[in-house]
Amino acid sequence: MKSPKDIELLILDVDGVLTDGRIILDADGREMKQFNALDGAGIKYWQRVGKRIAIITGRESPAVAHRAAELGVKIVIQGAKDKLPAYESVLAELKLTDEQTAVMGDDLPDLPMMRRCGFPIAPVNAVQEVRQVAAIVTDSPGGEGAVRQAIEYILKSTGQWDQILNRYYHEVHE
């Protein structure tokens, strides 16, 4: 099994990973997305220990740009129909390798990135082909804390979760 020990970058898909995969359109055709607060907190913890994060998604949505900005996610590539060139450009920009990268995806367009990266991750609701290449499959489905679970798994595996916990234990005992 692949190990998360060298992971410095986490790349996330949106629909089916950061959301439950539903696309909600209002009467005017504006898209709405629902994000999970646990995933947002997990992304902040990831950043707090010095890790980097990026979003690569095949769709375009102002809601994604807004949520990414709220979370301080600076690398957001939307409308990537072929995700591998976007993946390669992110790694080149950050001067990172495949082995330093984890990718969390749920559907076939995510497979090329997942097959290249050092640590592929799938939510439990991912399609079978994606779950088969994943080093871990979360218990939580996309949009319901799967990203948080993946982040905790990596940080616990690398001994960095204590950095997160210590902050809260310290605050409680003061």
Q: Where residue 170 falls among pLDDT bands split at 50, 70, 90?
A: low
pLDDT of residue 159: 93
pLDDT of residue 2: 78
Q: Summarize pLDDT for 95-138 with one digit per residue, the tens.
A: 999 999 999 999 999 999 999 999 999 999 999 999 999 999 99
Query: Model's pTM, two decimal places?
Result: 0.94
The domain spans of the chain are: 9-173
CB contact set of 92 (below 8 Å; sequence gap of 6+): none
* CA gap 174, 170 in Å, rounded: 6
**Mean pLDDT, range 79-106, rounded to an integer:** 97
Task: Dump strand ranges (E) for the chain.
Answer: 9-12, 24-25, 31-32, 52-56, 75-77, 101-104, 119-122, 136-137
Does residue 55 surpass a pLDDT of 80? yes
* CA gap 155, 56 in Å, rounded: 22
Q: What's the CATH fold of domain 9-173? A: Rossmann fold (3.40.50)
